[in-house]
Amino acid sequence: MTGLLLVAGVDEAGRGPLAGPVVAGAVILHPDRPIEGLADSKVLTAARRETLAETIRARSLCWALGQAEAEEIDRLNILQASLLAMQRAVAGLARAPGRVLVDGNRCPRLSCAVEAIVKGDATVPVISAASIIAKVHRDHLMTELDASFPGYGFVQHKGYPTRAHLQALERLGVSAVHRRSFGPVKKMLNKQLLKQ
């Protein structure tokens, strides 16, 4: 297999949460080891995602993850941080792809051909695979952060702005892993400043 034949799928997880990193997955599927049931990670149950992630890691030609932390998201903005996480994921692949297919409508800058496909995570298996490993990895990270920052409920909502999360922010204030540039967190910081 030459580099020209290798197509990587790339997708990210965690653009919407108020806390934690944004994580990108990059996958090059093995042509002789097909994986059944690949779909957009958002439509799969957590248990199904876990099983598929294990299969993807075992059967794909190669895979890698990249992430951008909360402070990078605040510094760059969420779109640029997502693209940075994608670049890091592609750079981490053991084999260099000749072409990269990305979910969405924006492409990271890469040294190979790259194409954005809207709803690619639902229609292109190699992007679905990337979306699954990114989501599973991010969920695991948020479970770890839940242990380090108890009380916010990260294990339940994974940092998304649920009512429980917003109430925890009110009660506990802003943690080190919250994205300070995001509306509800910024509002909370302003409130804290006024109280001082």
Q: Show the DSSP H helices in 60-99 as ranges.
A: 70-76, 78-91
- Supply the pLDDT for residue 78: 98
Angle between helices 183-195 and 163-172 (to 10 degrees): 20
pLDDT band at 1 (very low <50, low <70, confident <90, very high): very low
List the one residue out of 91, 92, 98 whose CA is nearest residue 5.
98
**Residues linked to residue 24 through DSSP beta bridges, in sequence order:** 12, 66
**Does position 80 have pLDDT exceeding 70, yes or no?**
yes
Q: Are 117 and 128 in contact (CB under 8 A)?
A: no
**Does position 2 have pLDDT exceeding 70, yes or no?**
no
Question: Higher confidence at residue 191 or residue 185?
Answer: 185
pLDDT band at 5 (very low <50, low <70, confident <90, very high): confident
Q: Delineate the domains of the chain, giving CATH numbers in brackets.
A: 3-148 (3.30.420.10), 154-195 (no CATH)
pLDDT digits (tens, 9 = 90+) for 132-141: 999 999 999 9
Alpha-carbon span 35 to 185, nearest angstrom = 40
pLDDT digits (tens, 9 = 90+) for 34-73: 999 999 999 999 999 999 999 999 999 999 999 999 999 9
Q: Are 66 and 23 in contact (CB under 8 A)?
A: yes
The model scores a pTM over 0.85: yes
